[in-house]
Amino acid sequence: MNDLTVSNIERQNVLNNRYAVDALQENLGFTGMLFEGEYRFTKKMVADFYEVDISTIDRYLSQYADELKYNGYVLSRGKQLKEFKLQFGHLINEATKTTQLGLFNFRAVLNVGMLLTESEKAKQVRARILDIVIATINKRAGGGTKYINTRDIDFLPAAIEEDNYRKNFTSAVGKCVQGHKNFKYAQVTDLIYQAIFKEKAREYRALLRLDKDDNVRRTLYAEVLRCISSFENGIGFAIEAEYKANGGMQLTLDRVKELIAEQEQSPAMQPFIYDARTKMASRDVAFRDVFHNNIAGYLRAVTPEEFDRFIGEKSIDFNEIMNLPENKAVLKRLKQADDDE
Check residue 340 and give its pLDDT. 47
Residue 329 has pLDDT above 70, yes or no: no
Residues 124 and 255 in one domain: no
Please state the pTM of the whole predicted model.
Answer: 0.88
Alpha carbons 121 and 118: distance in angstroms, whole number: 9
Residue 9 in 3-state DSSP? Answer: helix
Residues 119 and 15 in one domain: yes
The long-range contacts involving 162-166, CB below 8 angstroms and separated by at least 24 positions, are 162/217, 162/225, 162/226, 162/228, 162/229, 163/333, 163/334, 163/337, 165/229, 165/232, 165/233, 165/236, 166/229, 166/232, 166/337
Residues 177 and 275 in one domain: yes
Alpha carbons 245 and 228: distance in angstroms, whole number: 25
Residue 119 has pLDDT above 90, yes or no: yes
Check residue 88 and give its pLDDT. 86
Alpha carbons 163 and 168: distance in angstroms, whole number: 9
- φ and ψ of 138, to 5 deg: -60, -45
Residue 64 belongs to domain spanning: 8-140
Strands of 38-42's sheet in order across:
33-35, 38-42, 100-104, 74-77
Residue at which a domain ends, from 97, 120, 140 = 140
Note the pLDDT tens digit of each residue in 163-184.
Answer: 889 999 999 999 999 998 778 9
Reported confidence tier of residue 334, pLDDT bands at 50, 70, 90 = low
* Residue from 264, 257, 174, 254 nearest 228 by CA: 264
Residue at which a domain ends, from 140, 156, 184 = 140
